[in-house]
Structure 1
């Protein structure tokens, strides 16, 4: 049986300490559930923090990298995918994920959230603003939810993949 792939998307360099700790805990809990974590693969922000949490919990981490080499790759990526696509790799991030977790918000993250909803992927928003939540909730025909509680995020993911 194929393991579920859970994408965690969020800002890179602009992520603050609270957001990084939240992403690390999400990554850890994803791995503890036996799911595969997918991130943008870079050694920055949410990508690196979630990857660290999953990797240190013994999980598998797929990193969808923007370049055609390993430069800037997180040390916690188990399976690097070199795309040479820059930001266009966001399409791969979303299409490969069974469920998408949006952790924090930035320009690239917003594009991933929009693409996930357009593709009908289940999306859960965490650590985003109320206006962000309202905006994406209005756009959705796909399952969407919001929680800042890691355990509630994990419980919601379980419902989506069962």
Structure 2
């Protein structure tokens, strides 16, 4: 059985400070579980913060980059996958992960959450407002959880992965 890969998705340039703070804590918690962190690999927003958190906790990080080169790549990415696919890489992010945690929300993150729900992957919304939560709950309440804290997200992941 392959090692558990947890995808952390969230805004890049549009990330709020709280999104970056929570993502860094989440990356660290994922690494502490012995799971591999997967992000979009860029050196901005949630991707950068989660990767930094995982690296600081001694974890392994994968970055699925939208480009063909390492320009703009996070220095905290251990394994870089260069796709040259732009936003089309979002499906690779989802299908390569056992579960997805959306930390904050933007258009790219929304597409990843929708793809994950369609693929029947466990999805956790963390640090997302009530309007966003309601939207995704209306799409599919199966495999969708809402977490208020990183600790709650980790507990949900542990449960979802056991059932999966």
In the superposition, the TM-score normalised over structure 2's length comes to 0.96
Instruction: Trace 1:96-135 onto structure 2 (pairs within 5 A).
Output: 96-135=96-135
Equivalent position SS for 2:62 = strand
CA–CA separation in structure 1 for the residues paired with 2:3 and 2:142: 21
CA–CA separation in structure 2 for the residues paired with 1:111 and 1:135: 12
CA–CA separation in structure 2 for the residues paired with 1:3 and 1:141: 27
**Which 4+ stretches in 1 moved above 6 angstroms?**
none
| 1:108-130: CA deviation from partner (whole Å, max 9, x where unpaired) | 00000101001101100011110
Query: 1:28 is matched with which residue?
Result: 28
Query: What is the RMSD computed on CA atoms of the aligned residues?
Result: 0.8
CA–CA separation in structure 2 for the residues paired with 1:155 and 1:59: 18
Structure 2 runs not aligned, ≥5 long: none
In the superposition, the TM-score normalised over structure 1's length comes to 0.98
Structure 1 runs not aligned, ≥5 long: none
CA–CA separation in structure 2 for the residues paired with 1:141 and 1:36: 26
Contact 1:120 1:141 in 2 (8 A): no
